[in-house]
């Protein structure tokens, strides 16, 4: 004999459980609506990558500071531990980086890979720079390199069917974990 499950309507408040097993990700709405994106290409208060290093590491989600670049958590991660390596200087194009900035970004990227490997044991990584809005850069005015840890089976139906990613770790917790292991792992 099979038990019949009756679907009850959702409650009045968003996020109330119901038979549809919705995954509520309200933090994504900020990204969809363009919050934290500069309205122009100029440096300044509107750029989140210019803002992050001038506040505390905790408030700016900065994992590590280099001489000419820094590592920060991605506010809208593709996977847990998604990091961005950014030059301090507000610059849009890779070809405009100085040799010293290139070196610092490359070394910080290596350190990010070592730290994430030690802390999270991903099976692989996606590394990349989306230069220009048409290439997918959410913040086109300030160059940044993505360091995205990947695990076997980490892509499932959610991004395809629901345009949603399930991230099982808070950004502040991931920042604390990675920052706490950075020096130890990169001696």
Residues designated catalytic: 144
Give long-range contacts, CB 8 A cutoff, 24+ apart: 151-157.
151/79, 151/122, 151/123, 152/123, 154/79
Residue 46's DSSP bridge partners are none
End-to-end C-alpha distance for the chain, whole angstroms: 63
Residue 65's DSSP bridge partners are 70
> Are 90 and 49 a contacting pair, CB within 8 Å?
yes
């Amino acid at each position: 004999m099979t038990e019949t499950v009756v679907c009850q309507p959702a409650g009045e408040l968003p996020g109330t459980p119901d038979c549809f097993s919705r995954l509520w990700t309200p933090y994504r709405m900020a990204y969809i609506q363009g919050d934290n994106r500069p309205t122009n290409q100029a440096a300044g208060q509107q750029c989140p990558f210019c803002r992050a290093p001038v506040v505390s590491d905790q408030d700016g989600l900065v994992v590590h500071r280099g001489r000419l670049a820094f590592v920060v958590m991605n506010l809208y991660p593709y996977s847990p531990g998604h990091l961005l390596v950014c030059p301090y200087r507000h610059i849009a194009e890779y070809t405009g980086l100085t040799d010293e900035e290139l070196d610092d970004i490359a070394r910080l990227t290596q350190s990010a890979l070592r730290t994430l490997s030690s802390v999270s044991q991903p099976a692989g990584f996606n590394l990349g720079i989306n230069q220009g809005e048409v290439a997918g850069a959410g913040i086109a005015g300030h160059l940044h390199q993505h360091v995205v840890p990947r695990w076997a089976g980490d892509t499932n139906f959610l991004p395809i069917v629901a345009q949603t990613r399930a991230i099982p770790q808070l950004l502040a917790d991931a920042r604390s974990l990675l920052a706490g292991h950075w020096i130890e792992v990169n001696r």
